[in-house]
Amino acid sequence: MGKKIQSALISVYYKDKLDLIVKELDKLGIKIYSTGGTQSFIEGLGVKVTAVEELTSYPSILGGRVKTLHPKVFGGILGRRDNESDQKEMKQYGIPEIDLVIVDLYPFEETVAAGKSEEEVIEKIDIGGISLIRAAAKNFKDTIIVSSKDDYQALLDLLQSKSGTSDIEDRKRFAARAFMTSSHYDTRIFEYFNGSYNFEVFKKSELNGKVLRYGENPHQRGVFYGDLNALFDILNGKELSYNNLVDVDAAINLIAEFTEPTVAIIKHTNSCGLASRSNILDAYKAAFACDTVSAFGGIIAANRTIDAAAATEMNSLFFEVLIAPGYDDDALAILKTKKNRIIIQQKAPVKTVKTFKNLLNGVLEQDADTKAEGKNEFKVATTKTPAEQEIADLTFAVVAVKHLKSNGIALVKNGQLIGMGCGQTSRVDALQGAIKKAKEFGFDLKGAVMASDAFFPFPDCVNISHEAGISAISQPGGSIKDQDSIDAANKNGQAMVFTGVRHFRH
């Protein structure tokens, strides 16, 4: 059974499109209460409005901090229409029923994002608004709550289609969205304060949810929570899938580590191609050469604008997604010849501070792995010191192996990944797989370097790498048997550096 709206309280920060609602309420003969700037806005529309101060017989005080916090306001919202005692008290104290509450919240999140002072941020913590939202949502049996400008259109549609009435499901749905609004708001406030204290609690809130075609597999439901539009413009192709997003994340995080023109080719979050060159065409050719089989159906990421020459070369390969900071017009025309190919222009960097993984009956949180060791961090452990080109390749290899699943081994030569082994239960297996890959695609391992994501507990990997022709090695060190590996490298005439940092990735 529909419930007729007789009165409404409106107190909002955002007034865009509010005029349509106000005029519809007036047309339906609904009494309007308001205060402050909202009251002035409604009066400016030529619509009759009763000031909240007239209802409460109390002015707005403390610089506007206290306006609606009064029993005559909250009693009108919380009073149960079917409760005899409530009705008796409302009549006794002259409390009118309020059937509709339209309120939004001060822009706390936006104020923090703008880098404002603490004083300005604190003043944007809404008190009256959040209280009105909770009160009206709690009493959804009798009251409609509109808690965000995002719901203005839904309310307007309801008013017009049902002539100012609502049913219980309408009110309950608005209440659910109201609690979504209030919980998100409180989470953002907590995050602001917790930045100083780091209480060990897990609170995250993201209002942007996009249902995907499916999850990792077709029988699994998938949803992405976040604002991809802030990072990307999708210039061509179908919608990103769950697996696309996972690989795009891996590709972007890897390519962000390089300053020279670089191309990465990703398959199942691991790089099957990675190279730096003086231009993006040569970088792509070198990356593709690493594993011309695995590149099929992969994700390509570049850190420079794609020109026509690079686009022409890429166009001969079937790949799912291409990510770059820009595209020449003629390059885009070439790439768009495949209608389902996803072409992404990255607008902003991904700033990952924490990573999360749900497991067992909880969530793991850790700092993002933002370290990448280079020449300044390398500590030479062997008699032989790496040559200049070896140091450059070891620096490249450390980044490459950091982004492989553990156990991971990366083989690099002249700024090009020429072999990789990842996701193995044995580091020996990872190395042997990397060597096999390199030979399979015609690479000469003589003078190549090797990076390991973790230390060598035994000298076996050192000796295997020597037999393959590898001249320099990077590893974190830290094993109680480090000396065995050092001795083996010295005997083999190899250079070895310790980075002091492990890069497990599971």
Residues 6+ apart with CB under 8 A from 414: 389, 393
DSSP class of residue 419? E
Which among 466, 453, 460 has a CA at the least distance from the CA of 499? 453
Catalytic residue among 15, 23, 268, 336: 268
Phi-psi region of 42 (alpha: psi -120 to 50; beta: other; left: phi over 0): alpha
Q: 485, 458, 457, 484: which is closest to 473 by C-alpha?
A: 485
CA distances to 179, 231, 467 from 99, rounded to whole Å, are: 18, 41, 82
> Which neighbouring-strand residues pair with 232?
346
Q: Are 239 and 320 in contact (CB under 8 A)?
A: no
**Phi-psi category of residue 29: left, alpha or beta, with phi > 0 → left and psi -120 to 50 → alpha:** left
DSSP state of 41: H
Helix axes 18-27, 152-162, angle to 10 degrees: 20
Give the 3-state secondary structure of residue 180. helix
Q: How many CB atoms lie within 10 A of CB 467?
A: 11
Amino acid at 313: E
* Separation CA 284–CA 264 (nearest Å): 8
CB 148 within 8 A of CB 133: no
138 is catalytic: yes
Beta strands in 150-285 (DSSP E): 165-166, 209-211, 223-225, 232-236, 262-267, 270-276
Peptide bond into 217 cis (omega under 30): no
| CA angle in degrees (0–180, nearest 5) for 346-348-352 | 110
**Catalytic position from the list 15, 23, 124, 138:** 138
Task: Tell me which residues are annotated as active site.
Answer: 138, 268
